[in-house]
Structure 1
Amino acid sequence: MSEDIDSLQEDGDDYYTFLNIARTATDEEINNAYRRLSRLYHPDKHTDPGRKAEAELLFSKTKKAYEVLSDGHKRAIYDNLGTAGLETQGWEVVQRTKTPHEIREEYERLAREREDRRLQQRTNPKSSVNITVNATDLFSIYDDDPPFLDLRDLFGIPHIEISGMNLNQSIEAPLTNRDTAILSGNLSSHNGNGNGGINCSIRRVTSDKGWGEVEVGAGNGLSLAAKGFRNFSRGVFGNGSVLTHFTPNGLRVGTVATLANQLDQHTVGYLTWRAGMQSGMNTMIIRDTPALRVVLSAYIGIPHTYLALSYTHKIVEHEAKVKLVGKAGTFGAVVEYGAEKKVSQNSSLSASLAIGVPTGIHLKLKLHRASQTYGATILLCEEILPAPIIYGSVVPLVGWLALQKLIIQPYLRQQRQAEVVKQRQANKTRLLEKRREATAAVELMRETVRRIVDQEEARKGLVILQGWYGQLVAEGKDEEALSPEVVDVTIQLQCLVKDSRLILQDSSKCSLPGLYDPCPGEDKTLRVRYLFHAVTHEVTIKDNESLRIPKQSHRLET
């Protein structure tokens, strides 16, 4: 919920941070923060006409923040809709007679309706392209003379051919809040033989516990299918389908039924039964946590029976996954290992090597972008040999490093720079206004800060020696070590010191009194150097981190 609130405040004022209180602040904490800033910005405390005018603006902002947060109804609207919700539009959304709890429920209902409308307006296209490549000539151990002369043999060029291709495409068309039409098609070719089909289905959400679907397809004969899903109880759900296929050889009927049970927070067990076109029983257990994913499955049926185990380790900090799969049964055995890396917000690359008997060695490459998937399966060798295994393991890794260094990193860096320039241009006028307002606030703080510093020095308390906020580029303590996108916030921080303590909440510091965002859209840091008990301390935090000083861990070694 906090991320939603922060996004709502991007173009408005963050009243909580301006008052330097938590979002869970009590009425007493709100009143205390208001009184503190009122004493600082009240126009009657300033005789200079220029400062008096600036004080009136800042006092008005302080009063507005207090009026919103001290009123239960306004605070509920502000928490859910941001500053825009406090305008006439926001009051039209909810009735004034509703309680804060009812206002939040109303906001959630409206959000669901907006999501429903958004779903109705999109077709959600999905597509996949997969090709199969025969590259066994690269590692062939046989040297038979061909029956005819091939020019490629004269130059030593290996025979590599595309032996198969598969195309899939589907779109969705929401008809109502409950009904969706789905149109899909596929086309495949293998060694010169091809087939394809088209399917149209209507899915209806019968309740919040289930849905039903009817599908009609045409390809190698007419097909009719009925599918359904049902949530039986908490943690127990199932689905089933019945397929009727009219072929030139007669009528074929098949059924599939699956029952699932949520074993614990991260583990789900599945039991699937198939009859008719393909008979068998499958048991599968999936454990999925933020750090790993394990899938254990056992299948007994026709034409094969097998046991499979898959382990995926998630490297969250690098947005990558490492996968190991083992599968053995009546068909033989396969071991597969590979990795997947997220290369942008909507794109990921993966590569894996499958070593099997009697299937041979396959290199699998896949690019997933948004709802599109492009894959290639390359048959390196029909026998298990060291050369294709080394080739299939090393080449994708070297190729990824070259791709990342020469294409991906420069592209992402260029994108970030373009976005920063765009944001700076869009925020230029607003940035100048915020800087002017912050400068005026600092001037109004100076007298108060001098009094606070005198009090803190007398008791050997907390004195802010230097504060920097913005895009810090070095750990140096001199102003020359900082980038231009940095502001001096010494006075602003000292003004927030109370009883030798400084407490900042876990939100962006740019909304604090006297501060502004010097580099919109970029990561910011706050560095504070201070005296406590006549000893120098220093701490550096990220923009959205909370801060409580003094602390013994901040002490600098002398």
Structure 2
Amino acid sequence: MDFDSDEENVIEEDFYAFLNVPKEATKEEINNAYRRLSRMYHPDKHVDPALKAKAEVMFNKTKRAYEVLSDPHQRAIYDSLGTKGLETEGWEIVQRTKTPAEIRAEYEQLAEERAERKKKQATNPTGNITIAINATDLFNPYDDELFDDEYESDFISGIPTVEVSSMQFTQSVDFPLTQKDTCTLSGQLQTQNGTGGGGVNLSWRHIFSHKSWAELEMTAGSGPAVSFKGFRTLTKRFFWNGGTILQFTPEGIRPGIMSTLAMQIDKHSVGYLSYHGGGSVAVLHANHQGYREQPFQRLHPSRPAALVRLTSVHPQDDESGIETQSGWLGPSADSSSTAQRRRSRSTATSRSPSSAGCPPALTRASQTYSFPIHLCEEIMPAPVFYATIVPLVAYVVVKKGLVEPILREEKSKKVEKQKQDNYNKLLEKRREAMAAQDLMMATYDRIREEETRKKGLVVVKAVYGRLFAEASGQGQGDMELSNEVLDVTVPVQCLVKDSKLTIHDRTKSELPGFFDPALGEEKMLHIIYNYHEQPHEVTISDNEPLRLPKTSHRANVT
């Protein structure tokens, strides 16, 4: 589990795991689990004062889990928001006559509104830094014979020239005014071969409904400009965005117009038909209803353009997709295709005319840093090698030697913070686990005796926590353990019924007699058991379901 705030850093109880029932458990399954635990934990079952006090704690916990999961309304709230949803915040607005589905929907809406308010407190900064590097001299240098003899070559002149051909920096921040009005301040700076310019944009967007919005933008930099843009959902499959721009230049006012019609072709593909005429600083965005922001390219003032673009997203992963586009830019035509996978931050591009390049990029939060490197004008083996194999090797080296150690250190710090924040809670959980195991001893002895007599399922050893790999040279059943493990032989045997054991896909740390001995670390459950007097052994991860016995668990005895 990841913890992003102090509030989320607190350990929450898992009632389903405590009762050892699936999340979709029926009321009968919940009743059976409650009766099974009540027989062990009911205070009247224990005469010893110390055990009786422990039994009261465990019985109250069992009763609390049963009351929540057996009541459809409380269960709906718990499923949506956990134990926090059962507290007073928000409960007063829920009508007890509502159905569980309505309660889930209402509490999910409350959670979304709270999250939205948190988002609006921030300015939502986004940025993009692109530095283009021209490295064609590495593979296709100028011939020295082309120069006059009076220029003598030396070591310095023989070094290939690698230069920065262009740079572009963009940054923007949002200032929410109301639920429907947002101001955005953005700026950009770009250079090309030593010359360039930049500008500052101030825009105001008003959302009329989930189907339409309008935006007014003022630009200063390479001449002031004013633009008006709009978005409208036309039908279920069509939407339109467009606008006009007025750019003020020494020669007069230069108008521009742009329009895009998009169609949802199928579930994973969208087609765009665009027309741009005039203007040089127009940028449109279509980021409504889940569509990713698509900035249009800058246009030459005197070259109108028409563009057709088709975008398809992978059915199993909206982080990856392929895009093809073709268009007419004044007297010339252009076509390109791009395949990308954002999750792995990798991009491959092919374009006409043919050339080779290496486009390394890094995305962190809302900031993007890209460094496209132009290696050659024509396809050659050496540049292709350096554009493909070398970046891959460099990526592996950087990841293994730099990134992964940093991530491990960050994880270690996060785990330490979790332990500090939950120190008292962990002590309480440990006391509860030890008390539960003491109360289980009578049940444990009875079940173990019955299973031994009928040669059923007898748990020899069970440990839970941070386990290491099996030690080499050790005998069957020997497992090298860390210091962060818990002996759970007693509670695991108590889960056996009619020579069968089932543990559902929840964290094992919430099972009676268990606690989390290695908070924030990967935990496993290792069980050695006999069935029909044959040795068996199995190891599962923390959230993995388990059913015993299984033939595949049978140990090979030599």
TM range (shorter): 0.7 to 0.9
Contact map agreement 2:202 2:218 (CA 8 A) in 1: yes
In 1: Cα distance, 2:73 partner to 2:62 partner: 19
Match of 1:311 in 2: 339
Contact map agreement 2:345 2:362 (CA 8 A) in 1: no
How far residue 442 of structure 1 moved from its aligned partner, in angstroms, is 0.7
Query: How do residues 135-174 of structure 1 correspond to structure 2 at under 5 angstroms?
Result: 135-139=135-139, 140-143=141-144, 144-145=146-147, 153-154=155-156, 156-174=158-176
Query: How do residues 265-280 of structure 1 correspond to structure 2 at under 5 angstroms?
Result: 265-277=267-279, 278-280=303-305
How far residue 66 of structure 1 moved from its aligned partner, in angstroms, is 1.3
Contact map agreement 1:438 1:513 (CA 8 A) in 2: yes
Match of 1:348 in 2: none
What do the CA deviations read for 1:494-522 (whole angstroms, capped 9, x no partner)? 11112222111211011011100010011
In 2: Cα distance, 1:97 partner to 1:9 partner: 33
Q: Are 1:413 and 2:408 counterparts?
A: yes
Contact map agreement 2:213 2:230 (CA 8 A) in 1: yes
In 1: Cα distance, 2:157 partner to 2:259 partner: 56
The alignment partner of 1:485 has SS state of strand
Match of 1:111 in 2: 111
TM-score, with length taken from structure 2: 0.85
Which structure features the higher share of strand residues? 1
Segment drifting more, 219-228 vs 42-51: 219-228
What do the CA deviations read for 1:89-111 (whole angstroms, capped 9, x no partner)? 35335344444333222212212
What do the CA deviations read for 1:136-187 (whole angstroms, capped 9, x no partner)? 4434141155899899855854444334322211111111111110111112
Q: 1:363 to 1:152 in 2, by over 3 A?
A: farther
Q: 1:250 to 1:148 in 2, by over 3 A?
A: farther
Contact map agreement 2:469 2:479 (CA 8 A) in 1: no
Q: 2:446 aligns with which of 436, 451, 455?
A: 451
In 1: Cα distance, 2:163 partner to 2:149 partner: 19
Query: How do residues 12-411 of structure 1 correspond to structure 2 at under 5 angstroms?
Result: 12-89=12-89, 91-139=91-139, 140-143=141-144, 144-145=146-147, 153-154=155-156, 156-277=158-279, 278-289=303-314, 290=316, 293-312=321-340, 320=344, 323-328=347-352, 333-334=353-354, 355=355, 361-382=356-377, 384-411=379-406
In 1: Cα distance, 2:372 partner to 2:101 partner: 55
Q: 1:368 to 1:321 in 2, by over 3 A?
A: closer
The alignment partner of 1:270 has SS state of strand
Contact map agreement 2:345 2:363 (CA 8 A) in 1: no
Match of 2:284 in 1: none
In 1: Cα distance, 2:89 partner to 2:22 partner: 27
Q: 1:110 to 1:150 in 2, by over 3 A?
A: farther
The alignment partner of 1:471 has SS state of strand
Q: 1:548 to 1:236 in 2, by over 3 A?
A: farther
Using CA pairs under 8 Å that are at least 6 residues apart, name the structure with larger relative contact order, 1 or 2.
Answer: 2
Query: How do residues 393-542 of structure 1 correspond to structure 2 at under 5 angstroms?
Result: 393-475=388-470, 478=477, 481-542=480-541
How far residue 271 of structure 1 moved from its aligned partner, in angstroms, is 2.1
How far residue 248 of structure 1 moved from its aligned partner, in angstroms, is 2.2
In 2: Cα distance, 1:96 partner to 1:394 partner: 63
What do the CA deviations read for 1:397-428 (whole angstroms, capped 9, x no partner)? 34333322332122122222222233233333
What do the CA deviations read for 1:249-286 (whole angstroms, capped 9, x no partner)? 33332222222222322222222233345433322222
In 1: Cα distance, 2:357 partner to 2:154 partner: 24
The alignment partner of 1:88 has SS state of coil
The alignment partner of 1:320 has SS state of coil
Contact map agreement 2:345 2:361 (CA 8 A) in 1: no
How far residue 321 of structure 1 moved from its aligned partner, in angstroms, is 6.1
Segment drifting more, 231-240 vs 215-224: 231-240
Aligned length: 521
How far residue 313 of structure 1 moved from its aligned partner, in angstroms, is 6.5
Q: 1:401 to 1:152 in 2, by over 3 A?
A: farther
Contact map agreement 1:244 1:253 (CA 8 A) in 2: yes
Contact map agreement 2:214 2:230 (CA 8 A) in 1: yes
How far residue 471 of structure 1 moved from its aligned partner, in angstroms, is 1.1
The alignment partner of 1:519 has SS state of coil
Contact map agreement 2:85 2:91 (CA 8 A) in 1: yes
What residue identity is the alignment partner of 1:215? E
The alignment partner of 2:260 has SS state of strand
The alignment partner of 1:221 has SS state of coil
Segment drifting more, 485-494 vs 469-478: 469-478
Q: 1:470 to 1:93 in 2, by over 3 A?
A: farther
Q: 1:162 to 1:152 in 2, by over 3 A?
A: farther
What do the CA deviations read for 1:29-56 (whole angstroms, capped 9, x no partner)? 2211111111111111111111111111
What residue identity is the alignment partner of 1:173? F
The alignment partner of 1:419 has SS state of helix
What residue identity is the alignment partner of 1:174? P
What residue identity is the alignment partner of 1:258? T
The alignment partner of 1:85 has SS state of helix
Contact map agreement 2:338 2:347 (CA 8 A) in 1: yes
Segment drifting more, 472-481 vs 180-189: 472-481
What residue identity is the alignment partner of 1:325? T
Compute the RMSD of aligned alpha carbons: 2.8
In 2: Cα distance, 1:119 partner to 1:17 partner: 33
In 2: Cα distance, 1:147 partner to 1:166 partner: 40
Contact map agreement 1:164 1:189 (CA 8 A) in 2: yes
What do the CA deviations read for 1:177-200 (whole angstroms, capped 9, x no partner)? 111101111122223322211111
How far residue 288 of structure 1 moved from its aligned partner, in angstroms, is 1.4
In 2: Cα distance, 1:146 partner to 1:492 partner: 90
What residue identity is the alignment partner of 1:164? S
How far residue 215 of structure 1 moved from its aligned partner, in angstroms, is 1.0
Aligned identity (percent) is: 47
